[in-house]
A and B are shown apart, each in its own frame.
Chain A
Amino acid sequence: MDVEYKTVRNTLVVRVKGELDMLIADKMRQEIDRRLEENGIKNLIFNLEKVTFIDSSGLGVIIGRYKKVSAVSGRMFIVGAKNPVEKILHFSGINRLVPMYNTEQDIINL
Chain B
Amino acid sequence: MSIVNYVRFEFPSVPENVSFARSCVGAFVSQLNCTLDDIEEIKLVVSEAVSNSIIHGYENRKDGKIEIIASLHDDRSLELTVKDYGKGIENLEQALQPSYSSDPNRMGLGFTFMKSFMDEMEISSKPREGTIVLLKRHFLNQDRQAYA
Contacts and interface: CB of A to CB of B under 8 A. Distances in A.
Interface of A: 19, 21-23, 25-26, 29, 53, 55-57, 59-61, 63-64, 83-84, 88, 91-92
Contacts of B18: 21-23
Task: State the majority secondary structure of interface residues on B.
Answer: helix
B37 A60 contact: no
Given A22-B54, A22-B55, A84-B37, A56 B109 contact: yes
Contacts of A26: 105
B139 interface: no
Nearest to A52: B40
B18 to A, nearest CB: 5
A63 to B, nearest CB: 6
B51 A22 contact: yes
A49 to B, nearest CB: 17
Interface of B: 15-16, 18-19, 22, 37, 40, 43-44, 47-48, 51, 54-55, 103-110, 113, 116
A64 B105 CA distance: 6
A60 B106 contact: yes
Top 5 closest pairs, chain A to chain B, by CB: A84-B40, A56-B109, A55-B47, A23-B15, A60-B106
Nearest to A56: B109
B44 A59 contact: no
